[in-house]
Structure 1
Amino acid sequence: MKDYQIFELGDFVTQGGATIRDAKLAYKTFGTLNEAKDNVIVYPTWYSGQHYDNEWLVGEGMALDPEKYFIIIPNMLGNGLSSSPSNTPAPYDQARFPGTTLYDNVSAQHRLVTEVFGIEKIALVVGWSMGAQQTYQWGAQYPDMVERIAPFCGSAKTSVHNFVFLESVKAALTADVAFEHGWYEKPPTKGLRAMARVYAGWGFSQPFYRQELFRELGYSSLEDFLVAFWEGFFLERDANNLLAMLWTWQNGDISANPIYNGDFEKALGSITAKAIVMPGATDLYFPPEDNEYEVSNMPNAEFRPIPSVWGHFAGGPGLNPVDVTFIDDALKELLAS
């Protein structure tokens, strides 16, 4: 029994000029859309994540309370539920799946919100990591529609250093001979395991490892954490899907579209939504400095770092209760404003 719905996008033309025929956007909703249609929260997914992985931030008594709000979790293109290398029929299957941008993703999500639900105003867009990138994109692409944004542990533009980090991830995955340039018949598990090891050094901070906080998550040793958490995390994913989302991430830039033509500061300045931007204080690939610059160019934004040693994972997926409370409190404050 699948717990999500499919919005049929039809023939979806990407920014790169490819047409994904019979394209699909998977989504899940929580709560009820009120009569005024003004209780809407959009909560995009993150790199390798699906809507299930967002649900830790939704619940009674939390900021994202289904008793109060109508919460839409759209699945990112490439994540295995929406149109992806793993579920698109030939000829755009596997290695031929076209690159999709933040602009493509948010354009598809906008169609869902307006065509299916008739929504004209969004109370809040919120997201972690690549979900944060889509959050910024929403704010810049549809400034008259979005009232508030809360991107956490993500940026409006992928930095050069972040791009290089992703190159190491990609190189580890594709070096597996079983990868077959994306035309594998069985999962390239050695590449997925290697990718996981590379990612492990970046997902959490130096203090996290120094303090052996992985033991709080139930792992008995560092090696147990690397195998059971990290390798286990990526072995469940499809390699081409991971690469498709990685392409989106590497090309992340809210100004790379016909609206702003690459003028990043103009795109940031157009985000009129009230914003609380929350980087992880020890995030190694979305460092606070990037967000500090972004906030300085946004007219209605506050810079509020998450004071955590959990690195990028201060933002999710609900691993550290202290960080969850910090984020949830900020969202409650933002929604009450």
Structure 2
Amino acid sequence: MADHEIFDLGDFTLQGGATLRDCKLAYKSFGKLNAKRDNVIVYPTWYSGQHVDNEWLVGKGMALDPDKYFIVIPNMLGNGLSSSPSNTPEPYNASRFPNVTAYDNVRAQHKLMTEKFGVKTIKLVTGWSMGALQTFHWGAMFPDMVERIAPFCGSAKCSRHNFVFLEGVKAALTADAAFKEGWYEKKPERGLRAMARVYAGWGFSQSFYRQELDLNTLGYSSLEDFLVSFWEGFFLPKDANNLLTMLWTWQNGDISANELYGGDFKKALGAIKAKAYVMPGRTDLYFPPEDSEIEVGHMPNATLIPIESVWGHFAGGPGTSPVDVAFLDEKLKELLASDA
């Protein structure tokens, strides 16, 4: 049996103008919604991840405690559980699946929270990586609804450098002849493995590799074992078209790219009323602290809290570094206990 539920969005018109007919939003919830419907935490998923990959930050005694809060993990469109290239019927299957923005994702999540659960106030939105991108969108799109946000190891807009990195990922995946422009009959295994090798140089920091934490802490027998078992093993089970759909969402992430802000990024950041803990990884190669400093400088109620870690992007998840998990959990508890 599936461990998640489906919210029917019906015919859902995307920001780019296409309509996803019979659109589905998969989600999992923890805890109970209280009578006031104000004990709500929204915790969006990240690139290639599904709700189960977020569960490491949810638990009794933790900040995201189901005994205290009603926690909803919505799956991104394109991740294989919500409407995606891999599960959408013809003619919008595979490479015909339309482009989806983070703005689209958060509009869908807002419909879930308001229409399904009757929620008017959200205590906290938090997320890692692309989950952080959606977190920023929640703050900018619904400033009167969201009391607190805690984006970690992510950004409010895809930087030019980050965009270039993703071009390399995309090129590696699509260069496989088996990819067939998205109409593959069997998975493009060579492309997925190549993509994983590109990712491996970015997900963890130089210091992580210098200290051989792949061997000493994660327990792999060699660097090659780490590249094959961890990285190739990470991407091989995933659908290539789904990965490319989410990659496009990532590259085009921008909280100001909508009718609310007309591309004015500073205006969009300034509109976020929520009390914010913006937590970049000190050694994150995707989302360096310098980008977060710029964002926080234009937010009226934000604090910059770097995660002092050599684990790079993975300082934020998915539960890889226990020390960083403890730090993140402590800061989330602090934020939840503070006045909004």
The TM-score range, normalised by the shorter chain, is over 0.9
Corresponding position: 1:214 with 2:214: yes
Q: How does 1:34-53 map to 2 (within 5 A)?
A: 34-53=34-53
Return the alpha-carbon distance in structure 2 between the equivalents of residues 296 and 92 of structure 1. Answer: 42
Task: String of CA shifts for 1:91-139, please: whole Å, max 9, x gaps.
Answer: 1100010110011000000000000000000000000000000000000
Aligned equivalent of 2:326: 325
What is the TM-score normalised by the length of structure 1?
1.00
How far apart, in 2, do the equivalents of 1:40 and 1:303 lie?
24
- Superposed CA deviations along residues 197-231 of structure 1, whole A, max 9, x for unmatched, are 00000000000000010121121110000000000
Q: After the TM superposition, which residues 93-112 of structure 1 pair with which residues of structure 2 at under 5 Å, given as runs? A: 93-112=93-112
1:263 matched to 2:234? no
The question of 1:167 aligning with 2:154 is answered: no
Match of 1:113 in 2: 113
Q: 1:327, 1:219 → 2: CA distance?
A: 25
The aligned amino acid for 1:316 is: G
Shift of 1:285: 1.1
Secondary structure class of the residue paired with 2:73: strand
Match of 1:254 in 2: 255
Partner Cα separation in structure 1 for residue 85 and residue 32 of structure 2: 33
Q: Deviations over 1:36-66 (max 9, x none)?
A: 1110000000000000000000000000000
| Equivalent-residue separation in structure 2 for 1:208 and 1:325 (angstroms) | 19
State the Cα RMSD in Å. Answer: 0.4
| 1:13 alignment counterpart | 13
Equivalent position of 2:142 in the other structure: 142
Deviation at 1:69, TM superposition (A): 0.2
1:223 lines up with 2:208 in the alignment: no
Task: Give the alignment of 1:45-124 within 5 angstroms.
Answer: 45-124=45-124
How far the C-alpha of 1:309 sits from its partner, in A, is 0.2
Q: Residues 23-45 of structure 1, C-alpha deviation per residue, up to 9 Å, x if partnerless? A: 00000000000001110000000
TM-score, normalization by structure 2: 0.99
Work out whether 1:298 is the aligned partner of 2:299. Answer: yes
Which whole-Å CA distance do the structure 2 matches of 1:309 and 1:77 have between them? 31
Q: SS at 1:107's partner residue?
A: helix
SS at match of 2:87: coil
Q: How many residues align?
A: 337
Deviations 1:56-91 (A, max 9, x none): 000000000000000000000000000000000111
1:237 matched residue in structure 2: 238
Which residue is 1:127 aligned to?
127
Distance 1:38 1:67 in 2: 14
Corresponding residue for 2:27? 27
Matched with 2:199 is 199
Report the 3-state secondary structure (helix = DSSP H, G, I; strand = E; otherwise coil) of the residue aligned with 2:162: helix
Question: Match for residue 308 of structure 2?
Answer: 307
Whole-angstrom CA distance in 1 between matches of 2:224 and 2:31: 41
Q: Classify the secondary structure of the residue corresponding to 1:10.
A: strand
Q: Which amino acid aligns with 1:200?
A: A
Q: How far did residue 151 of structure 1 move?
A: 0.1
Write the letter of the residue equivalent to 2:97.
F
Aligned partner of 1:273 in structure 2 is 274
Paired position in structure 2 for 1:286: 287
Give the drift of 1:286. 0.6
Gaps of 5+ in 1: none
